[in-house]
Amino acid sequence: MFPEKRKNGKGLLIGYARVSTFDQNPQLQIDALVDAGVDIRHLYEEKVSGSHLNRPRLKDALEFMKKGDVLIVWKLDRLGRSLQDLIGIIEDLKKRGIGFKSLTEGIDTTTSGGMLIFHIFGSLAQFGRELTRERTLAGLEAARRQGRKGGRPRSLNNEQRETLKELIEQGKGVSHIARILNTSRFTVYREIGR
């Protein structure tokens, strides 16, 4: 779009601003990005919740950017849906030779100090995932020791399962069996598969 700036060996500053709802005003973010040197022509703005996978303007910005460019956001949570998502995006930028800056948190991956902070965040995220996994496994083990099994309870009781077996032996169809047992065909198929 503006290749002449890239020909000079200077990357572009690309801004990304996001608000979660149409009621919110992104102007604070836009002003901060422009003050940081982002040309308004290189500013990508969208109004969509961060939890949405589909963020077309972010996708456009990421596709437009080339080696030497820098993606700038007002705040980290404007870019990623989660810490893991954020780290994935920034790691992808790093592999492509693209820098990243977050104005509020003062993170700048174009500097060694900024990369250090980013790696600390990544380590903390990994540590948090491992703790969650350990707690989950410990909880499951404690439940097993107390005689509990994982998963949801079976949909049919013993009497219904016996009726199911008899109806199958009689050659009745799944829809017919489901009506008799007052359950869904999916439940009948699941019980047959056990």
Residue 22: per-residue pLDDT: 67
Number of domains in the chain: 2
One-letter amino acid identity for 141? E
- Greater pLDDT, 82 or 96: 96
Q: pTM of the entire structure?
A: 0.62
Average model confidence (pLDDT) across the chain: 86
Domain range for 162: 158-192
| 140 assigned to some structural domain | no
Structural element, H or E, at residue 107:
strand 107-108
Are residues 107 and 36 part of one domain?
yes
Question: Does the pLDDT of residue 57 top 60, yes or no?
Answer: yes
Are residues 102 and 47 part of one domain?
yes
| 146 assigned to some structural domain | no
Q: Average pLDDT for residues 150-163, to the nearest whole number?
A: 84
Please report, for residues 71, 122, 148, the alpha-carbon distance to residue 89 in angstroms, rounded to integers and kept in the order given.
Answer: 11, 12, 40
User: In three state form, how does the secondary structure of 52-91 look?
Assistant: CCCCHHHHHHHHHCCCCCEEEECCHHHCCCCHHHHHHHHH
pLDDT tens for 95-104 read 999 999 999 9
Residue 106: per-residue pLDDT: 87
| 20 assigned to some structural domain | yes
User: In three state form, how does the secondary structure of 135-180 look?
Assistant: HHHHHHHHHHHCCCCCCCCCCCCHHHHHHHHHHHHCCCCHHHHHHH
Catalytic site residues? Answer: 20
Angle at 85 between CA 83 and CA 88, to 5 degrees: 110
Residue 5: per-residue pLDDT: 54
User: Which two structure tokens, joined as six digits, stand for 59?
Assistant: 């996708």
Are residues 91 and 167 part of one domain?
no
Angle at 14 between CA 115 and CA 39, to 5 degrees: 130
pLDDT tens for 114-132 read 888 878 877 887 888 888 8
Rounded-to-integer distance, Cα 25 and Cα 146, Å: 53
| Beta-carbon count within 10 A of 165 CB | 12
Rounded-to-integer distance, Cα 123 and Cα 135, Å: 18
Are residues 102 and 176 part of one domain?
no
Q: Average pLDDT for residues 13-23, to the nearest whole number?
A: 86
